Amino acid sequence: MLINIKTTNTMETKHEVNEFSHEDGLKTIYAMIESAKGNIGENYLYYLLWGYLVAFTCILEFVLIRVVHYNRHYLVWPVLMGLGLLVSVLFMWRQKRKLTHMTFIGSVMGYLWGGWILGFMILLFFINTRQHYGDILPVTMVMYGLGIFVSGGVIGFRPLIVGGLIAFAAALMAFYQDHDVQLLITASTVILSYIAPGHMLRRASKKQKP
For the chain, what are the domain ranges? 39-208
pLDDT level of residue 63 (50, 70, 90 thresholds): very high
The pLDDT score that the predictor gives to residue 154 is 84
The pLDDT score that the predictor gives to residue 65 is 95
Cα three-residue angle 185-186-191, rounded to 5 degrees: 100
The pLDDT score that the predictor gives to residue 103 is 66
What integer is the mean pLDDT of 155-182? 93
| DSSP element (H, E) containing 66 | none
pLDDT 10s digits, 113-160: 888 888 888 888 888 777 777 889 999 999 989 999 998 888 888 999
Quickly list DSSP for 110-122: HHHHHHHHHHHHH
Rounded Cα gap, residues 193 and 122, in angstroms: 23
Rounded Cα gap, residues 11 and 17, in angstroms: 10
Please say whether the beta carbons of 84 and 117 come within 8 A: no
pLDDT 10s digits, 1-52: 444 544 445 555 444 444 545 555 444 444 444 444 444 556 788 889 999 9
**Which residue from 6, 116, 1, 92 is spatially nearest to 42, judged by alpha carbons?**
92
pLDDT 10s digits, 68-98: 999 999 899 999 999 998 998 888 888 777 6
Phi-psi region of 69 (alpha: psi -120 to 50; beta: other; left: phi over 0): left
Q: What single letter denotes the amino acid at residue 110?
A: G
| DSSP element (H, E) containing 18 | helix 2-41
The pLDDT score that the predictor gives to residue 32 is 44
- Helix 2-41 / helix 136-155 crossing angle, nearest 10 deg: 150
Coarse DSSP helix, strand, coil percentages of the chain, rounded to the nearest 5 percent = 90, 0, 10
What integer is the mean pLDDT of 186-209? 85
**Which residue from 138, 124, 115, 154 is spatially nearest to 189, judged by alpha carbons?**
138
The pLDDT score that the predictor gives to residue 168 is 96
Rounded Cα gap, residues 76 and 69, in angstroms: 14
